[in-house]
Homo-oligomer: A and B are copies of this chain.
Amino acid sequence: MGNVSCFLKGYKLGATFSNIRSNSSPASTSPMAAEQLGVSAENGVQNGKILAAIDDEFDGVIVEMNKAMDPMVFHSMLKASLSQWRQQKKKGVWIKLPIQLANLVEFAVKEGFWFHHAEPTYIMLVYWIPKSQNTIPANATHRVRVGAFVMNEKREVLVVQEKAGSLRGLGVWKFPTGVVDEGEDISDAATREVMEETGIDSEFVEILAFRQTPKLFFEKSDLFFVCILRPLSFDIQAQELEIEAAAWMPLEEYAAQPFVQKHEKWMKRIIDIYKAKVDGVYAGFSRLLTEAKNSLYVNEKGLISCNNNII
């Protein structure tokens, strides 16, 4: 997996990291490949000197440590392993250390490894053996959030006041918002957040518009998708932890808030677009299912106008 950027380049490719791992060795034909290769059984150790590694598709190797090891032994084995991999013309070297083995991190760093990414339970380190420029792919770059317009038959929209954040105590009503969970579809996140915050059941209609804000959070950019949902229930039950109050509010009243008017290039504009939508002219991106769990978001109305049927 030395060069996963290639992997990312091809829109055709649907394999996951674990797929790559399990398919990368001729001997491995299932997700149990690591264990079959003796990685689990021998704690990353092969023949007592070299760290057990699995080849990846990009002339690289992957080491997945999973049991405690004396740091000095690890350091020594890592040196020997790098020497061998260099002879074998390997490129990228990945070492995944569970948080329980945090004491090994510094020894990988001493050998020139750097941090690729970390999640609560592990850190992934990486090293590039050749003298050529490395093609190690970057870490995830974006957070994705959703906001939801939900309107009932009285032309009222669903709004909330939050208990935390900079708007708390200011009496500002806003539409429900939230963060898309790892692996969750945007449309599913929108209906989930509305349910969590207000108890309203709803179904996804379309993405009205979205905004990209560079480097909003830890240098990561923010993609904020404004969604239209159709309510399937109407009795509000505000969530206690995060929500101060929730209500159905006439759209005009919502739009008239100073908070909205003040942000004319964002909030006010979004409401103008939403009004264009409610009046039946504007078309956003709705969701089509493609292969597997993938979603394709397109302007279906634009396609219907064109062909009189959906592609």
Chain A positions within 8 Å of B, measured between CB atoms, are 3-14, 16-17, 57-58, 99, 102-103, 105-106, 109, 114-124, 135, 137-145, 147, 162, 164-168, 174, 177-186, 208-224, 242, 259, 263, 265-267, 269-270, 272-273, 276, 279, 281-285, 288-299, 302-303, 305-307, 311
A166 to B58, CA, bound (A): 10
Given contacts A105-B106, A183-B215, A220-B182, whether A167 and B294 have CB atoms under 8 Å apart is: no
Given contacts A17-B218, A179-B8, A215-B182, whether A142 and B302 have CB atoms under 8 Å apart is: no
A12 to B267, CA, bound (A): 9
* Cβ of A271 to closest chain B Cβ, rounded Å: 10
* Cβ of A284 to closest chain B Cβ, rounded Å: 6
* Cβ of A112 to closest chain B Cβ, rounded Å: 11
* Cβ of A60 to closest chain B Cβ, rounded Å: 12
- Selected from B116, B211, B281, the residue in CB contact (under 8 A) with A296 is B211
Given contacts A166-B7, A306-B282, whether A182 and B219 have CB atoms under 8 Å apart is: yes
Residues of B within 8 A of A223 (CB): 142, 144, 223
Q: Contact check, A121 vs B115: say whether CB atoms are below 8 A apart.
A: yes
* Cβ of A35 to closest chain B Cβ, rounded Å: 20
* Cβ of A3 to closest chain B Cβ, rounded Å: 6
Chain B, residue nearest A145 (CB): B8
Q: Contact check, A141 vs B141: say whether CB atoms are below 8 A apart.
A: no
- Selected from B121, B140, B164, B284, the residue in CB contact (under 8 A) with A3 is B164
Given contacts A211-B297, A306-B276, whether A218 and B124 have CB atoms under 8 Å apart is: yes
Q: Contact check, A6 vs B162: say whether CB atoms are below 8 A apart.
A: yes
Given contacts A102-B109, A117-B117, A137-B179, whether A281 and B297 have CB atoms under 8 Å apart is: no
* Cβ of A194 to closest chain B Cβ, rounded Å: 14
Known: A6-B164, A9-B165. 11 other contacts (CB 8 A): A7-B165, A10-B165, A11-B224, A14-B213, A114-B121, A116-B118, A185-B212, A209-B299, A266-B296, A276-B311, A283-B302
